[in-house]
Structure 1
Amino acid sequence: MDARSQRRRLACAECTRKKIKCDKVIPCRNCSRRGRPCYRLPQQTTSERAIQDCLQELQATLRVVRQSQTATPVLEDGTISVPSSPEQQSLLPEPVPSRSDRPEMHSAGVNEDTEVEDAATILEFLAWGRRKVPAYGSPHRSLGDVTLDDELDLDETSHLRLTNDSPLDLLQLLLPKPKCLQEIVRYHCDCLLWYHASFHAIVFQSELGDFVNKYGCNVQNANVDLQWVALLFAVLTGSMTCAPPTVALSWGFHEQERSAIARRWFKAALVCLHRADYTSNHSIYSVECIATMTMSAHMLGHSNSHSVMLATAVRIAQSLGLHLLGSSAHDHPNSLVRKEIGRRVWTELCIQDWFSIPFSESYLIHLLDFNTGTPINCKEDDMVPLPDEVPTSVTYYRVLYQVARLMPWLQDDMAKLNTLYTKYEHVLRYDAQMRTLVSKVVPLFLKNAPLHPSWPCYVPWARHCLIISLAHKIIMVYRKFLWPSFTNLAFSFTLKTCIAASKTILRECKQVAEEEGPILWIYHAFAVAASIILCLDLLFQPPLDAEHHGHRELVEDTIAILSRSNSSMIAKRGLTILRLLSRAEEGQSLPGSSQHELAIR
C-alpha cells in the first residue's frame, strides 16, 4: 500500500517503540500508569514531500540554466506593444525597469509541458493544499484536504467528533447564546458581506430573528430548515475565521476556542447540508451557504473539497433557474428582492468558477449559457438602483465580476492557438484589455479619493482587496509564461510585470497587517504566491543584483506576517514553502556552497 494513503498514526510514540497496544488517547493508559510522557511522533505531510520534490526539480533547472552558454529566444521581446494610460497606473502595477546587471538569460527548453507545469504554479497550489490536475492514469491521487483538525491530538472515535450521522443535539451544542449569535452575524453583515455578497443581509437577519424569537434557536424545530441552519453556520464560520482577535475576544472567544469553534462550525454546515439531503432537495439556502463558505474554506484547509462543493452549487443553482433571471429592469416589485438574491449568489459562483481556471484549465459556467444580469448597485433597505460611485455591499464584487468575465475568454482563445508566439501575443493583448477595463469600471471611491465619513466602514478594506486581487489577476493572465520568463529573454516583459505585481501585493498586505480589519484568505494566499515569484527571481538573479535586498526584505516581512496566523492553513503551508525557498536562496548566495549541500539543508 502507498504510504501516503495510510491513515494518520494514532498510537503514541512510547507504545509504538515498545510495540504494545495503545488505547490511542493522549495521554494513553500505559504511559499514565508508568508516569512516562505521552505524545505522538510527527509525520511528514504529503505537502512537505511535494515541496521538497519541487525544490529538487528547481535546483536541477538552475543547473541547466547556468551551464547554458548561448541564448536561443523564441521571439524578440518588444515585438508587441502594450499600451497603458496614466489612469491605469493607480491600481494595476506596471513592469519594473530592466535590470542592467542581470546576466543574459537563456532558453531552457520551453515547451507545452513546462509552459503549464512550472515551479511557481506548483508551489502556489501546494500552499492551497491542491495540485495541478495530473494526467489520467498517473500514480498520483487526491489525498484530500489537510486541515487544522489534522494537528489535533483528538481520538477520531470521540463521541464529540462531527460526522454526517451526528445527532442534531450535537449541532445544538455548537450554537452560542442568542445575543452572541446575533453579534457574530451582525459583524458578518457589516464587515464581510461586501466581499462576497452571497446573501441579503436584511432578509437573513429577519430570518435569524424568527429563529431566535419564534423557535428558541432550536435546530430540531419542524419549522426550521436545516439548509438555512447550514447557511447560519457558514456565516458564523466566516465571522470567526476572518475577524481580528480583538473582535473575537469581544464576543468572548479566546484564540484557542476561536480556532476550534470555527472548524466545528464549518463541519456543522456540511452536516446540516447532508442531513437535509441538499443534492436532491434543492434550495437557495444551500447555494448561499456554499458560496459563503468560500471565505473560510481556504483558511481552514478545505480547498480541495470546497472546489467540489462549488461545482455542486452551480448545478443546484441551475436547477433553481438562477442562470436565467435576466435583467433587474424586468423585475416585478414583489419579486425584486428574491431575484436579486439569486443574481448575487449566481454572480459569486461565476467569480469563483472563472478565477479557479488555473487549477483545472477548465470551467463550468459558460458565458453563452446564462442571461442573468449583474446585480444592481443598491442599498438593501430600499433596493433602489444607485450610481456606481455610491459605495454599497455589492460594489466591490461587481467590479471583480467584470474582471472575472475575461478569464473564460482567455482560456478559450488560448486553446485555439497552436504556437507559443501567438499564445504570448494573445496574453499581452489580454493584459492591455484588463488594464483598460479596470480604468473604466473601478469607481473613484475604490481608488484613492479621500475617505468620506458617510461611507461604510469596509471601503478602506475593499480598496486593499481590489489592489491585491487585481495585481494577482495580472499574474494569472501571465501564468503560463511565468516560469519560462525566468530563463528566456523573449518573455522578459512577463517577468517584469509579474515582479511588479508581486511587489504591489506584498506591500499592500504589509499595510493590511498593520490595520484592524478582517483577515481575508486572499491576503495569505496571494502574498504566498507573490513571495514565491520573488524567491524564484532571487534564485535566478546574481546575489549582487540591485533589487536583491528589496526582494528578500519583502519576503522576510511576509514570513513574519504569516507566522502570526494560528488559524490559516494557507499561512502554515506558505510558511513552509517560503522558508525552504529562502534557505535555498541563502545557500546559493554563500561562497563555495554546492548543490549537494543545498539539497541536504
Structure 2
Amino acid sequence: MADSWMYSSASNSNANSGVPTGEGPATFSASALANSPADSKHVQPRVRRRNRLITSCLECRRRKLKCDKTAPCANCTRFKRDCLYLASSSDPGNQQRLADMKEKMGVLERNLEREVANKNAKAHFGGVHITKPASTETSHTHVDANEEEELGEDEEDLEPTPLAALDNVYEDNNDDELMDLGVQMGKMRISERVGGWIRPKLVDELNDTLKDVMGGKSRWSTSPLTVEHREPPKATPKIQASPKSYIGPGPGYIAPASRFFFPGTYMNTSLIDYLPSRTAADHLVSQYFMAVHYMCRAVHRQTFEAQYALFWGQIATGNEPAPSIQAVMFAAMFSAAVSMDETQATQRFGTSRSALIDSLRSGTEMALAKANFLRTTRVDVMQAFVMYLIPLIRAEVSRAHSALVGTAIRLAECMGLHRDGSHYSMSPVEAHVRRLVWHQLCFLDMRTCEATGPRPQIRPGDYDTRFPLNVDDADLLADPSPVGDMPYWTDATLMRIRCEAVELRRSLWFDMVQIDRKKKSLTSVVVKVQKTWNNMTQKYFAMMNDSVPFHVLAKHILTLGLQGCFLQVLHRYLFSTSQRMPDRLRQILIEAGLTQMENAIALETNAELAPWAWYRGAFNQYHSALMLMVEVYAYPMRKDAAKIWKCLDYIFDIPPHLSPKQKAELVITDLRDRMEVYHQMRKLRATTQMEERIGSISKSSLQHKAEDTVPLSQDAEALNSYTSMPPANFSPPPPAMNDSTGSGSRQPSVARNTDVAMLMEDIGWAEWDRYFPIEQNSGELNVENFDFDNFNGGLSGPPLDSSAFAMAANTIPSELTMPSNQDLADMSFSPAYFPVPNNMDDSHRFRHQK
C-alpha cells in the first residue's frame, strides 16, 4: 500500500493556512513570481515568432538566393528548376498552426539540450543517489492513458522519484508463512508499499538521508552545527527490539478464513452453533446502528429492521431463515462486535471481545457459504459479503483481504452492480442499496490497492453507478420519493462525502500515470484537487454543526480524504531526480501532511468520537509522519516545526527529554533497521533498470553492523512461530504488541539548495495563482534568524549530549508493551498540543473558506 506524494506560519495563520481556501481567480502578475523564492535568473523568455509572410519561391529560399518573385523567377529559369511558391493565405488558423509547429520544434530542441546536460548533472541529495534514465526506458505502469493533454514546457523538468514502482517481485525462496503486514512503527504500520508505491530501496534512502544531514549536506550546513555534523558519525544508540515485536499482526488484525470459499466445508454446522441469544443480538444490532451504520453505511435501515424482525420470527416458529437473511444478520452483528472495546464486550456479553468476534466471524462465513455467495445473483448476499469485509479491512491489510475484495468486485460486476439501478426501473430503496454496496466496494478497492497493490481494480469509466442520494432513509419510502440531494445534513451525508473523496482519489491514481507519460500536466491535477476541496468544504461544512460530535467526525474524515489527495499527487516529487521541488509546492505538500496528522490524532483522541474511532485505521495510517520528520530533521528552521514535533511525539511515543535532532535520528535509524530485517525476510527484488539508475548506494546497514550492536536475526526462529498465519478457522487477537520508538511515512527528502534548484517556471504559475494565491501560498517556509544552537523544535530544555542520549536509549526496554484499547480511549491531550475540533480559528484543522 505512499508520499508520495504545506508549511504555515505560526504567527500568521492566514498567510500560510495550509491548503489555500481562496477559490476566486487571482490576477497573475510578474511581481508574484518576482517575490517567489525561486531564482529568477533561470527563467528564460520564450522565443518570439514574427510569422512573416513568405514571398520567395521554395527553391530560392532553400538555396538562400535572392528571388525576384516572378513566375517563374530568374534563378529557376536560369537553372531550369520548378519554380513553386507557397499559396498566400491570410487565414489566422494557418498562421497559428505554423507558429505552434515552430514552438514544438523549439521545445524538442530544449529537451535535447536538457537530456545532454543532465547526463553530467550532480546527484540530488536526500535519498539514494540516482541517475537520469535513458530516453528509451519504458514505463512499467501497465495502465493505459486514455486522455491526452498538451503539456507546457514549464513542467518538463519536474520528475517523480524513480525509486517508486507499481509492481513488485519476490524471490522464490522466501517464507510464505511470514505475515505480509509490514513493520509496526509506533501507531503506524509501513510495508514495502508506501503510499501505494513499492519502495524497494527505502533502507538505502534512509541511510543516505542520515549521512547527508550528518555530513553537513543539508540546507542548514552553514549553521554552527556544521562542524559537529561533518565529523565522522559515531555509533548511534539503537533500540534493540526483537523482530517479532514489530512484524507480527496488531490487536486490530482479523484474518479471514479460507474454508468458506470451498463448498461442503460447513455441512456439519448449523445456525444454532453461532447464533447469540435474542437479547445479545438486540444489543449487537443497537451497537451496529450507533457505531457502524452511519460510518460504513451498507443497508437501508427500515428494510434491515423488517428483515431482522422476520429473522427472529422464523426462528421462533422453528423455521430456519433464508441463507441470504442469515448472512446479512450475522455480518451486521460481526461488524458491531468489532466496533466494541474489551470493556463493552465483557460487560454486555460476559465473554472476551476476541471470542465474540471469532464466533460471529465464523457464523458470517457459514451463512455466506450456505448462501452460495460465489455464484449468487442476489444483491442481499453481496450486501452481506461487503458488510463482512468492512471490519476486516482497516489499518492492517494483507493480501488475503485484497484477494477477497477482488473476488467481491468481480461478483458485483457479474450481477450488474456497476450499472445504476435507475436504468432498470428499480425502486428507490433497491437502487439506493445497490449504490451503497458498489461504492463501499470502491472504497475497499482503493484501500487494498494502497496497502497491497498493485493498482485499483475498478477504473474510471467502468461503471455508471451514481452516488447515494443525500437523503434520510425514511425519505426513500415516501411517495413521491426524492430524486435529488437534500441541501441539509441527512443520514447519508457522511457516506456521500466518503464516496466523493474516493472518486477523486481513484481518478488521481490514473492521472499520475498520465503525468508520468507526459499526457497530463501536474498543474491541472493539483488544481483539480484544490477545486474539489473548495467545492466540498463550501457545500458540506455549511451543513455541519460543531456542537454535534458526528458532524465533527465528518469534518475529520473529509479533511483526511482530501488532504491525502495532495500527498498522493505531490509526494513522489519530493525526490525529483535532478530538480528541486519548488517551495510553493513543498509548502502545500507539508501543510497537507501536517493537517492530515492533526485530524487523525484528533479523531483518535477526542472522547466524543470514541464510538467511531474503531474504523480510523481505514482512513489514515500516519504515512506522512516520516516525510515530515525527515523534513524538520533536515530543515529545523521550518515555521511549523513545533506543531510537527507535537504530532510526531504522539505518533511515535518518543521520549520527551530528547532533543528533536536526537529524536529524529533515533526514529529514522530504528525504521531503517526494521525495514532491512523485513526486506531480508520478504526478499523483495528491484528491477534491473532501478539498479542501473542508482549511482552510489550506501551499503546495507546490516552489512556494516559493528560488534557493539546485537544481530537482528537472532530471533528468526521465534519470529517464524510468531508471525505465521493463524489457522483458517480461527482469528483471535494476537499477543500484546511490542514496539519501540518508530516512525513511518512516505519518503524522506533532504534537498540541496543551489546545485539542483528547480526552476519556478516548472509549474504553470498563471493557473496556479488562480487557486493558490501568492498571499497564502508564498513558499516562505522558514523562520527568520533561526537559532541552530538551540535546535529543540520549540520544546523546552537544552539538547542532550551523546552520553545522555545513550543513557536515554538504554533505558527503553527491548520490548515495549502496546497500550490496550481502554488505555487509548482514556488518553487525553491538552489543547496546547492539539486544538479542539470545533475551534473555528484553527485554520490548520478544517481550512474554512474565506
Which TM bucket (shorter chain)? 0.5 to 0.7
For residue 476 of structure 1, what is the amino acid of its counterpart?
Q
Counterpart AA for 1:395: T
Question: What is the CA–CA distance in structure 1 between the aligned matches of 2:469 and 2:278, rounded to whole Å?
Answer: 33
Q: How far apart are residue 214 of structure 1 and its match? A: 1.8
1:536 aligns with 2:630: yes
In structure 2, what is the equivalent of residue 66 of structure 1? Answer: none
AA in 2 matched with 1:501 = A
Flag the 1:573–1:413 CA change in 2: closer, same or farther, 3 A: farther
Equivalence for 1:54: none
Partners of 2:394 and 2:616 within 8 A in 1: no
Distance of 1:315 and 1:203 partners within structure 2: 26
CA deviation string 1:400-446 (max 9, x = no partner): 32232234433334334456xx58x8344222212212322346554
Deviation at 1:361, TM superposition (A): 4.5
Distance in 1 between residues matched to 2:342 and 2:182, nearest whole Å? 32
The structural deviation recorded for 1:342 is: 0.9
- Does the 8 Å CA contact 2:251/2:737 hold for their aligned counterparts? no
Structure 2 distance, partners of 1:377, 1:448, is 12
- Give, in whole Å, the separation in 2 of the partners of 1:115 and 1:493: 23
Shift of 1:308: 1.5
1:522-533 to structure 2, matched below 5 A, reads 522-523=616-617, 526-533=620-627
Q: Structure 1 residue 213 and structure 2 residue 313: aligned?
A: yes
Give 1:114-129 correspondences, 5 Å limit: 114-116=163-165, 127=189
**Are the structure 2 counterparts of residues 205 and 326 from structure 1 closer, same or farther at C-alpha, using a change threshold of 3 Å?**
closer
SS of equivalent residue, structure 1 residue 194: coil
- Describe the SS at the equivalent of 1:127: strand
- Taking every aligned residue pair, what percent have the same amino acid on both sides? 16
Alpha-carbon spacing, 1:124–1:468, altered in 2? closer, same or farther (3 Å): farther
* Alpha-carbon offset, residue 180 of structure 1: 2.3
In structure 2, distance between residues paired with 1:360 and 1:579: 18
Give the letter for the 1:176 counterpart.
P
- For 1:109, the aligned partner's letter is I
Q: Which range is displaced more, 428-437 or 407-416?
A: 407-416
Q: Aligned ranges for residues 163-182 of structure 1 at < 5 Å? A: 165=265, 169=269, 172-182=272-282
The alignment status of 1:262 with 2:357, answered yes or no, reads yes
Please state how far the C-alpha of 1:277 moved relative to its aligned partner. Answer: 3.2
Aligned 1:194-593 pairs, distance under 5 A: 194-216=294-316, 222-225=320-323, 227-243=324-340, 248=345, 251-252=348-349, 257-299=352-394, 301-327=396-422, 331=425, 335-354=427-446, 356-358=448-450, 359-383=452-476, 384-385=481-482, 387-418=485-516, 422=518, 426-442=521-537, 444=539, 446=541, 449-451=544-546, 458-484=550-576, 489-490=580-581, 492-512=583-603, 513-517=605-609, 518-523=612-617, 526-542=620-636, 547-559=640-652, 577-578=742-743
1:355 CA displacement = 5.3
Give deviations 1:167-202, integer Å, cap 9, x for gaps: 664764443321221222233224322223222222
Kindly provide the CA deviation profile for residues 221-262 of structure 1, in whole angstroms up to 9, marking residues without a partner as x: 54431x4433333322322222456655663467xx113322
- What is the deviation of 1:300? 7.9
Residue 279 of structure 1: how far off its partner (Å): 1.1
Distance in structure 2 (CA, Å) of the matches to 1:472 and 1:577: 22
For 2:412, the aligned partner's letter is: A
The CA distance in 2 between the partners of 1:477 and 1:431, in whole Å, is 7
Q: What one-letter code is carried by the residue in structure 1 that aligns with 2:490?
A: T
Partner of 1:86: 22
Secondary structure at 2:521 match in 1: helix
- SS of the equivalent of 1:368 reads coil
The Cα shift of 1:114 comes to 0.9
TM-score for both structures, normalised by structure 1: 0.63
Residue type at the aligned position of 1:287 = M
TM-score by length of 2: 0.46
How far apart in 1 are the matches of 2:300 and 2:131? 49
Q: Distance in 2 between matches of 1:146 and 1:354?
A: 24
d(CA) in 2 for partners of 1:380 and 1:305?
34
Could you tell me whether the CA contact under 8 Å between 1:355 and 1:404 is conserved in 2? no
Cα distance in 1 for residues equivalent to 2:616 and 2:647: 17
Name the SS of the counterpart of 2:373 in structure 1: coil
- CA deviations 1:462-486 (Å, max 9, x no partner) are 222222222223222224334559x
Do the aligned partners of 1:326 and 1:372 also contact (CA within 8 Å) in 2?
yes
CA contact (8 A) 1:506 1:527 kept: no
Using the TM superposition, give the Cα deviation of residue 345 of structure 1 relative to its aligned residue in structure 2, in angstroms: 0.8
Q: Which amino acid aligns with 2:163?
A: T
Quick one: distance in 1 between partners of 2:621 and 2:250?
Answer: 20
Instruction: In structure 2, give the amino acid aligned to 1:467.
Output: T
Report if the CA contact (8 A) 1:115-1:481 is conserved. no
Distance in 2 (alpha carbons) for counterparts of 1:540 and 1:263 = 47
How far the C-alpha of 1:205 sits from its partner, in A, is 2.0
Indicate the structure with greater helix content.
1
SS in 2 for 1:489: coil
Partner of 2:130: 109
- Tell me which amino acid in the other structure corresponds to 2:301: A
Supply the AA of the counterpart residue of 2:162.
D
Does the 8 Å contact 1:106/1:488 carry over to 2?
no
Distance 1:523 1:360, change over 3 A: closer
1:184 matched to 2:284: yes
Distance 1:568 1:248 in 2: 14
Determine the C-alpha separation between the residues in 1 that align with 2:417 and 2:362. Answer: 26
Post-superposition Cα deviations, 1:274-324, rounded to whole Å, max 9, x if no partner, equal 344321234323422333234421348454222221111111111211122
CA contact (8 A) 1:282 1:320 kept: yes
Task: Tell me the distance in 1 between the aligned counterparts of 2:190 and 2:332.
Answer: 22
Residues 549 and 315 of structure 1, relative CA distance in 2, 3 Å threshold: same
State the secondary structure of the residue aligned to 1:251.
helix
TM-superposed deviation, 1:377: 1.9
Letter in 2 for 1:177: S
Structure 1 position 396, deviation (Å): 1.8
1:481 touches 1:491 (CA, 8 Å); kept in 2? no
Q: Measure, in 2, the Cα distance between the counterparts of 1:262 and 1:170.
A: 18
C-alpha displacement of 1:591:
5.7
The one-letter code sitting in structure 2 at the alignment partner of 1:540 is: A
Amino acid at match of 1:532: L
SS at match of 1:522: helix
- Counterpart code for 2:283: E
Query: Taking structure 1 as reference, are residues 209 and 579 closer, same or farther at Cα in structure 2, changes over 3 Å only?
Result: same
Tell me: CA distance 1:122–1:171, structure 2 relative to 1, closer, same or farther (3 Å).
same
Q: Structure 1 counterpart of 2:743, which letter?
A: L
**CA separation in 2, counterparts of 1:370 and 1:205?**
30
Post-superposition shift, 1:128?
A: 6.5
Alignment root-mean-square deviation, CA? 5.1
| Counterparts of 1:412 and 1:381, CA distance in 2 | 37
Check whether the contact 2:334–2:357 (CA below 8 A) recurs between aligned residues. yes
- How far did 1:341 drift? 0.9
Letter in 1 for 2:492: V
Measured in 2, the distance between the counterparts of 1:203 and 1:336 equals 12
